[in-house]
Structure 1
Amino acid sequence: MATQKKTAEVDYSMQEKILALYDLQKIDSKIDEINKVKGELPLEVQDLEDELTGLKTRIDNINAEIEELNTLTKQRKREVDQAKIMIANYKEQQNNVRNNREFDAINKEIEYQELEIELAEKRLKEYAAAVKGKKAQYEEADSAMKERAIDLSAKKAELEGIEAETAPQVEEYTAQAERAKSKIDDRLLAAYDRIRRNVRNGLAVVTVKRDACGGCFNRIPPQRQVDIRQGKKVIICEYCGRILVADPDSAEE
């Protein structure tokens, strides 16, 4: 909608659109150069943030597992206490048995409770060992998270410093780019953006220098160079697909 309005207000010639494309390319190249100063910092910051998120999730899971083991430990300890109480009660009952059969039956119950205690105590040792292992994992993950947090803070500070320093330039270049785009229709802008994404160094618009394409350096035929200088239509390099424009710094023939 916005682009349709701008083209309706001012009917720019094809030559003006092509020159605007060339200006846009120069502006975008300046912004690319500024972004190069950031280097891998944006990716490094993102990677560290992702790693910290993963470490936090791991720590949360470890804490949940420790909590579950602590709950099981309490449960087993209650079972041991209950079994000891039952054993004491059974031994008390043995003092009042009337025959050997009752004595043997109670004795079997005592042996069963003793086995339950033995099994519960075995589980308690396993839980204790598991908790110890989980705590070691927690310490390792917590230490790693603290180190990554320090790294992230440093990387963010470095990136923010660069962005703050270059912000006025980027803002000015962005405004210039918008002014150039206002002269170019949507179809041509879409083609420009597509080429920029697919070529090295983001150079979608290049000049013809010494009879060759400024992108791939293949020779451009004389008649095609004439068409480029006239600027009546968009000329694409048949070798690399870039948009070709006449070098405005070269002397006119």
Structure 2
Amino acid sequence: MAKKKEVTVEEKLRALFDLQLIDARIDEIRNVRGELPLEVEDLEDEVAGLNTRLEKLNSDLETIDHKIKEKKNLIEESKGLMKKYAEQQKNVRNNREFNALSKEVEFQELEIELAEKHINEFYAQIEQKKAVIEQTQERVKERQNHLDHKRNELNEILSETEKEEEALIKKSDDYKKQIEERLVKAYQRIRDNVKNGLAVVPIERGASGGSFFTIPPQIQMEIAGRKKIITDEHSGRILVDQELAQEEKEKMEAMFKKM
């Protein structure tokens, strides 16, 4: 049985830096999208809320319209009763009956007056609600146009980057499988704890990438020797030498272009 080839520290460093380049490219794609997906989601919620408000306002109009019809029917009924009582007054036998009918007529007059007052109030409510509906419709139109614009913007970015992102995520997973689990976990932990997501960085001008802290010459030599994995004592990032970083960048850029 053939002995499994032992992976050297240099090979581990190259694999980790390649993984970092892939993940950084994914980050870059996602940064281009930025807050757009959240913006689109917020706008969708806002438009849905405005449309729900419109439905409620239109439902209120129907309810008020129904109440106006009820009051108009009540007025017609009262007018009918007044006519009936007026006819009955012609055939009364005494003043008591005449006065009783007169009170009924007065009561129906008050009912009509109250109903007309309510009808006028309902018409005022209708005008008010129609004004709110008009304002809300204008707001819906404006927000819907903004939503359509943002959706088109997002779809454009997605159509340009979605396939590449999917391919890169697959590559990232493939590279993780090639690296021992302990190192992948350490890499991910560092990546989660640093602001720009860079867990593996090259030495630049005697300091670790993105840092102002100078690395002692002895440590720089050890990093260049690629015999052990060394981390920056200030940021915790895994360090690689500039030459290795340049070689891997060129290799990965060629791969990215083929995607």
TM range (shorter): 0.7 to 0.9
Within 5 A, what are the aligned runs for 1:197-212? 197-212=192-207
| Cα distance in 2 between the residues matched to 1:120 and 1:11 | 96
Structure 1, gaps ≥5 residues long: 1-8
Within 5 A, what are the aligned runs for 1:30-49? 30-49=25-44
Q: CA deviation digits over 1:180-220, x for unaligned, max 9?
A: 12134666545544544553333233233334232333234
AA at the equivalent of 1:92: E
> Which aligned segments of 4 or more residues in structure 1 are displaced greater than 6 angstroms?
9-15
Query: Deviation at 1:224?
Result: 5.8
Query: Deviation at 1:48?
Result: 1.9
Structure 2, gaps ≥5 residues long: 246-259
Q: CA deviation digits over 1:19-49, x for unaligned, max 9?
A: 4333222112112222333344333322321
Within 5 A, what are the aligned runs for 1:9-88? 19-88=14-83
Determine the structure 1 residue equivalent to 2:173: 178
| Cα distance in 1 between the residues matched to 2:74 and 2:5 | 87
AA at the equivalent of 2:107: Y
Determine the structure 1 residue equivalent to 2:237: 243
Determine the structure 2 residue equivalent to 1:6: none
AA at the equivalent of 1:247: D
| Cα distance in 2 between the residues matched to 1:250 and 1:187 | 22
RMSD: 3.0
Q: CA deviation digits over 1:110-136, x for unaligned, max 9?
A: 111111111111111111111111112
Contact kept? 1:196, 1:203, Cα under 8 Å: yes
AA at the equivalent of 2:81: M
Q: Percent identity?
A: 46
| Cα distance in 1 between the residues matched to 2:186 and 2:104 | 87
AA at the equivalent of 1:243: R
AA at the equivalent of 2:198: L
Return closer, same or farther for 1:27/1:89 CA change in 2, 3 Å cut-off: same
Q: CA deviation digits over 1:158-185, x for unaligned, max 9?
A: 2212221223432332232121121346
SS state of the match for residue 178, structure 2?
coil
